[in-house]
Amino acid sequence: MNTKVVLLLGAVALAAADSFPSYSYRGPHGSSEESFESFESYESSEAQYNFNYAVKHDPSGNDFGHQETRDGDNTQGSYYVQLPDGRLQTVTYFVDGDSGYIADVKYDGEARYPDSYESFESFESREAPRYAPPRRVYG
């Protein structure tokens, strides 16, 4: 009896395994490694865009921006930022195909630092905030 049950369960398992579809990955019709490579070269040679943005917020001292243009493999642009020491850092760059990222960094203005650390409010002289435990509310 046990042998019949085992054989019957084996046959059911075998039939169930055949009824499940097998999944496998196949590329698009007519795809090959060569067509993928030609797609990559087509994609990179056709890239074309132009963007820019700028932020200038006097109360916080934020002053920065970025501009970039791309036509195929030729990319060029620049970005700038106002540094905390008062100088303006400007980076002008370009990328031409596989030449890599070539940057020219310039600083406008002169770095300014305080005369001494005593001009800053000392850490100990600042009044520490006082916190009180919350009041209990009954009701």
How would residue 125 be classed by pLDDT, with cut points 50, 70 and 90?
low
pLDDT tens for 42-58 read 454 578 999 999 999 98
pLDDT tens for 72-96 read 888 999 999 999 888 999 999 999 7
Out of 9-18, 80-89, 96-105, which region has the weakest mean confidence (pLDDT)? 9-18
Taking the alpha carbons of 8, 9, 15, 18 in that order, is the dihedral positive or negative? negative
Q: Where are the domains of the chain?
A: 48-139
Residue 129 pLDDT > 90, yes or no? no
Residues 6+ apart with CB under 8 A from 65: 52, 53, 54, 55, 79, 80
Output the pTM of the full model. 0.50
